Structure 1
């Protein structure tokens, strides 16, 4: 199974499809006011512009369409010994990654709520989870105006194209070997990469080596073609989305122009007044005389 499909299967298993959708634009003033009134972990609601906004884990899970199930990750993290985790990552992140890949139920709302409280307590000045906060405030009825400053996110939706690019970049960089001592347990220097490759190639049959090399080249070409296919699909989806946005804009523009014309031209336009009969009488008499003279000439 390819890595992008493996990652997609994990996302589907945990019902996290809404997580890799394109984030909504965050309103800077709304997010700042939220953190101004947010004291930290334990506070379940925040007042933003006079409206109470719930920020507990149940609300977050409901916003992302997640069910409130059993949280086995927290129990597993509490029982795991920290001295056995020899990794550059933090213990919490390692345990979370293990819970994700093993398919254990995870209370995502609880984790996000704890992170929000930790960031609010630190007072670091950064605006964490701006899209989530803006969406929760908007759904709670917080007034948001069109002319307010938006925090545009440079991250788009996490599609298979993005995952394939990331994997291809990692494969191009090559596998990173863990740090080793100058000498191994037997007191001998560890073999270098060149020596290992030479030993492996010497032990292999030439025909088998050629077949392995051909399979590697074929896999690289297929991976490149797959990435190009994903890029084409992603480009078509973006074009379709831009076209929909344009037609929505054109529809709103036409409605606005129609309302503006109806507002400005409320009174009916009267027809042009007719001339009085006494003004046009000499002209009509002269025309009648000319017609009689012409008839007499013809006779």
Structure 2
């Protein structure tokens, strides 16, 4: 069944006159009649009733007309949809994120991408620890992920967006809670509530490296599945916890966050597969310079 036959039928059905339909189609009447007959043979039932005085649709013809119009609209829309998809104007980007400390960047990225690509669907997956985000990227379960550096594994491209200073979460009654800042030597013997050590959380390796530089290791007394749980356990005086400063928006009662002067900031980046040719993903990648600049302005308190 050819589209030109569908168009011929729709034109005849609209005019109910072969001569006028042939004029609209810029063809002679006999070939048009042959196209309609061929179409009816293919469908297997009469679509038109013809007399010497009039042409009318059969019941089958009325049903076929609705579907034929839908098929022609789809055929006309298909090239435009293909061009839009190739330009990253439509499509889907599956974006993973690593936890609540990346929420501000996630919101900023989502807002900007929706402004620039309103017809691309951005699916949010998470929260997921960094190591698991890389696994999901490699399995093609997500297209990109907001992840803490460093990232292990080949075939992954990363672009750093911002860095978050590391703070220590202390119970409000802790003797150090009134300080403006602390260093690791102040915290060396403290019990620590940690992120999981076996799930690729970037902050875990950062904290262990910082302690090693001082010739010690953190005294981990409990692991918690996420930042909010760490803060809750700190509030219950189970121990102290190390979290990015961006965790401040969680505001858990009975917990104070203090900067730690000798732990370097924790980078947050967007990661994606190098070979991924998804145009919608590359439309997001093209915005990373602007998103990074907005992150810096947000960190500086600029409007």
TM-score for both structures, normalised by structure 2: 0.19
